[in-house]
Amino acid sequence: MITIEKVSKWYNPQFQVLKNCTTAVEKGEVVVVCGPSGSGKSTLIKTVNALEPVQAGTIMVDGLNVTTMKKDLPKLRSRVGMVFQHFELFPHLKIVENLCLGQTIVLGRSEDAAKAKAMKMLERVGLTAHAQKYPGQLSGGQQQRVAIARALVMDPICMLFDEPTSALDPEMINEVLDVMVELAKEGMTMMVVTHEMGFAKKVANRVIFMDAGEIVEDAQKEDFFGHPRSDRAQQFLSKIL
């Protein structure tokens, strides 16, 4: 579903943020990306839907070359769901309107069809009663579930998550992780940047560990947690587990 091959990126000539990164995510696979702050996790995940350009290497999503794509980018982005740390909902739009916008503008769905789909996905994340509210009236956990629903209404072929629970109060983390666990169980292809190792142990197939712009480990979950090969991953795990 996603292949990342020999990808390098510089933010400026002196600073290489991604160093020859290669990995792949199969259809239905859940891959957790972890590593120290500043190691390039957000940058890597953003390259998958071309939110960040790369200077070398190739990224393919569902057989399409993202690195060279131009006019089809909005369509591709609509099919690659992305959930950020800070929700990024439109504050001046009601929840249901937040969920309809992309459907009508990018996918050309009618208002009625978009609304029906929006309500279906709100039900799925347990927020039907909040459809007519504004984002500011919801808790952080609820807003993040809205953000997930907003990605799902677009019928994504895969989902990217960038630290979806890091901005949440502890008591709200599980309500968001529960939705993600359900998605994973239903076979959604997912690439998830997170430090929630409980989530990784429960649903990940593979774990990627990054440090200083490099993919240092790319291992089956059992191998990663059982016996990480690199010192850097061992140190990282000893700090967060």
The distance of closest approach from Cβ of residue 121 to Mg ion in the complex, given in angstroms and rounded to an integer, is 26
**Closest CB to ligand ADP among 25 and 138?**
25
The distance of closest approach from Cβ of residue 31 to ligand ADP in the complex, given in angstroms and rounded to an integer, is 15
Stretch that binds ligand ADP, among 34-42, 132-140, 170-178, 226-234 (CB under 6 A): 34-42
Give the per-residue SS3 of the chain. Answer: CEEEEEEEEEEECCEEEEEEEEEEECCCCEEEEECCCCCCHHHHHHHHCCCCCCCEEEEEECCEECCCCCCCHHHHHHHEEEECCCCCCCCCCCHHHHHHHHHHHCCCCCHHHHHHHHHHHHHHCCCHHHCCCCHHHCCHHHHHHHHHHHHHCCCCCEEEEECCCCCCCHHHHHHHHHHHHHHHHCCCCEEEECCCHHHHHHHCCEEEEEECCEEEEEEEHHHHHHCCCCHHHHHHHHHHC
From 7, 9, 29, 43, residue interacting with ligand ADP (rule: CB under 6 A) = 43
The distance of closest approach from Cβ of residue 62 to ligand ADP in the complex, given in angstroms and rounded to an integer, is 24
Site string for ligand ADP, 168-197 (x = CB under 6 A): ------------------------------
The distance of closest approach from Cβ of residue 41 to ligand ADP in the complex, given in angstroms and rounded to an integer, is 3
**Closest CB to ligand ADP among 122 and 233?**
233
8-27: contacts with ligand ADP (CB under 6 A): 11, 17
Q: Check binding of 42 to Mg ion (CB under 5 A).
A: yes
The distance of closest approach from Cβ of residue 41 to Mg ion in the complex, given in angstroms and rounded to an integer, is 5
Positions that interact with ligand ADP (CB under 6 A): 11, 17, 35, 37-43
